[in-house]
Amino acid sequence: MPMSLRHALLALLEAGAMTGYELAKQFDQSVAYVWHAQHSQIYTELRRLESGGLVVARTLARGDKALATKRAYTLTESGLAELRRWVREVEEPPAMRDSAYVKATYLEYGSFQEARTQLRAHRAHYEALRDRYELHVDQLARRETALLRRRLAGSPAESHDAIVAYKVHAYRGLVARARTEIEWAERGLELIDRLEDGGTLPK
Amino acid sequence: MPMSLRHALLALLEAGAMTGYELAKQFDQSVAYVWHAQHSQIYTELRRLESGGLVVARTLARGDKALATKRAYTLTESGLAELRRWVREVEEPPAMRDSAYVKATYLEYGSFQEARTQLRAHRAHYEALRDRYELHVDQLARRETALLRRRLAGSPAESHDAIVAYKVHAYRGLVARARTEIEWAERGLELIDRLEDGGTLPK
DNA sequence: CAGAGCATGTAACGTGTTACATGATTGT
DNA sequence: ACAATCATGTAACACGTTACATGCTCTG
C-alpha cells in the first residue's frame, strides 16, 4: 500500500510549519507532479496525522478582526521518525494498472482512424507532461522554488547538493518516462500507417 | 475514471463464452500485465455486467453428479456495442501517482546506503517485469497464446495482422518503459556514488 | 463594493484490497 | 484417501473522487 500522501505531507512540513492551505499550494507545485491529491483530501489527511500525533496544530487568527481562523501544522518528533522510517522502508511496487495500455491492446475493435486518435491523444498528453517536468527540473537545478529554498535554509550546507540532486534526478526520470511514452505513441502511429497500407508488416 | 476491468472482461468474452474461473485464468495471463485484478473482483464485476445486460450467463453443471455448478458468460449485442464505444472514447489520463518517485524525491532523509537499497529494489523490480514482458511479446508474435488463437479463429484472416500487431506494440511499449526505469535507477546509483565521494557534482 | 483568492471542511460514492469462507471434482 | 485445483463468492476496510458547502479578507 503506497500511502504516499501521508508521507509527502510530513516531508513538506519538515521544511517548516504551514497552514493547510499553504501546504496544499506548495503540494500542487511540487509533490503533485508525482502524487496528485485534491485539497479536500489534504485537509482530511492533516487531521488524521494530527490525531496520530505525527503533527501538531496551532490555531491562528486570520486578519485583524479574528472572525476567521486558520490552523498551522508543525511536524513532531514522532512525525520526523515516521518520515525516516518510510524512507528506509522498501515498498512492494503497486500492481500495474494503465488504462491507455489496456486500450492499446484492443485497438482492433475500432477503425484505424480511431486508433490514431487514441495514440495522438497519448502523445499530446505526454508532450505536455514532458514540458512541465523539464521546466521543473530547471527550477530545481537553479534552486528557484520557494519550498526548496526553505528546505536548504534549514539544512547544513554540505547536504544541499544531495537534497537538490535527488529531486533533479527524480524529475529527470519523469522526463525520460514521458519521452518513452511519446516514442511509443509514434511507433504506434507508424504501425497503423503500415497496417492501413495493407503492405508488409516488418517485425 | 479508468474502469478498465469492465471493458477488459468484455474484450476477453468477445473471443467466446467462458466461465468466471476460466476468464480469471485467461485474465491473469493477458490483461493482468497491464491491469491487475483479484479473482474476487472479477466475479463481482461479472455479476455487475450481467445485471447491466452487457453479458448473459448460463448455469452449467460441473462433473457428473451435478452437485456443483458453474456459470458461463457470453457477450451480448449491447456488451459488444459498449466495447466498441470504449475503444472510440478518449479518456482523460488518470492523475500521476507513483510512490517510488515520491520517495526518490526525499531520499535525503535516509543514508546513502538506504538510498541505494531503494534504487536497487526499483531496478530489480523492472528487470523482472522487462523479462516477463519480453517473453509475452515473443509468445504474441508467434501467436502462441491460447486466447489469441481463439480470437484469431473467430476473426476474418485479413484482420489477423492488426490484432497481433496492436498487442505486440503495446507490450513492446511496456518493455521500453521497464528499460527506462532500469536506466533511471542506474543513473541514480551513479549519482549516489558521486554524492558519497563528496566530489564534483556534474550537471 | 465586487470579485479573486484565502481557508476549511463534509458527504456520498466508486473502486480496489485483504481476508475470509466454502465446498466439489479430478488425478494419483 | 489425499492433494491440487476447480469454482464461487462475501464483508470490512482503505483510499481517492466529486460535488457540495460556507464564509472571510484583501485589492482595486
| Through-space separation of residue B90 CA and nucleotide D19 C1' in angstroms | 23
Nearest by Cα to A5 from A17, A158, A19, A24 = A24
For residue B89, pLDDT beyond 60: yes
Q: How far is B66 from chain A (nearest CA, A)?
A: 37
For residue B1, pLDDT beyond 70: no
pLDDT at residue B105, rounded to an integer: 97
CA dihedral for A122, A123, A124, A128, sign (positive or negative): positive
Q: How far is B183 from chain A (nearest CA, A)?
A: 9
pLDDT at residue A30, rounded to an integer: 93
pLDDT at residue A65, rounded to an integer: 66
Please answer whether residues B147 and B12 qualify as being in contact, where contact means their C-beta atoms are separated by less than 8 angstroms: yes
| Window from A1-5, A96-100, B74-78, B137-141 with minimum mean pLDDT | A1-5
Q: B98 touching A, CB under 8 A?
A: yes
| Through-space separation of residue B98 CA and nucleotide D2 C1' in angstroms | 46
Q: A141 touching B, CB under 8 A?
A: yes
Strand C close residues, chain A 86-145, CB < 7 angstroms? 95, 97
Stretch (H or E) spanning A25? helix A20-28
Any strand C atom closer than 7 Å to A28 CB: no
B61 vs B49, which has greater pLDDT? B49
Report how far residue A74's alpha carbon sits from residue A28's, in angstroms, rounded to the nearest whole number.
19
pLDDT at residue B3, rounded to an integer: 80
Report how far residue A83's alpha carbon sits from residue A87's, in angstroms, rounded to the nearest whole number.
6
- The backbone torsions φ and ψ at residue A198, rounded to the nearest 5 degrees and listed phi first, read 65, 5
Nearest by CB: A108 against B86, B90, B166: B166
A94 vs B135, which has greater pLDDT? B135
pLDDT at residue B116, rounded to an integer: 98
Q: B97 touching A, CB under 8 A?
A: yes
Task: HSE, CB side, 13 Å, CA atoms: give it for residue A37.
Answer: 27
Please answer whether residues B50 and B166 qualify as being in contact, where contact means their C-beta atoms are separated by less than 8 angstroms: no
The amino acid sitting at A82 is: E
Tens digits of per-residue pLDDT, A14-24? Answer: 999 999 999 99
- The backbone torsions φ and ψ at residue A187, rounded to the nearest 5 degrees and listed phi first, read -60, -35
